[in-house]
Structure 1
């Protein structure tokens, strides 16, 4: 196998954050622009307090950044934090590509022999 899984930062908080569909939806929305808690809550079928808890998990996973702007707190996507997650997943994509290619070659050889 040509790709190697290099040591990465602790990805557990990021994977924990990505495990929830609501948090993935919030990330998708934040990929377009930074938003206030009220703006995010308007798109969710839950209370402001529940959305805030999701934002804390995303922040703990380093997937979002929060900054104060006057009386508001703006949340924005931290795209650089997704790179180690994508790299970790790409390793397994390469792993399966190699194994599926080998299976294809084996099946082609068997077909040729028949």
Structure 2
């Protein structure tokens, strides 16, 4: 996944809008109920507590921005599989090097 972009398949579970940018105006949010919704749908029915009413299932829950500064590691949940495999290969190599160094 490129910096500043989300996968093409990621979309709002309410309005089906495809959001492929991490700009402030067009963000996707993952809700505690696990639904993914756009900013417009997420905050259309915001509660006084700061939580939102999920537009898909009606559950009152917290919303976390996907790829926002507050949760940058969450973007990894939506990485392209080839990038994940590349990272795993890199980690496997690091483990092998470490094991070889310990044997010496």
Larger relative contact order, structure 1 or 2 (CA cutoff 8 Å, min sep 6): 1
Normalised TM-score (structure 2): 0.33
Give the structure with higher Rg (CA).
1
Q: Which has the higher helix share?
A: 1
Structure 1 length normalisation: TM-score? 0.30
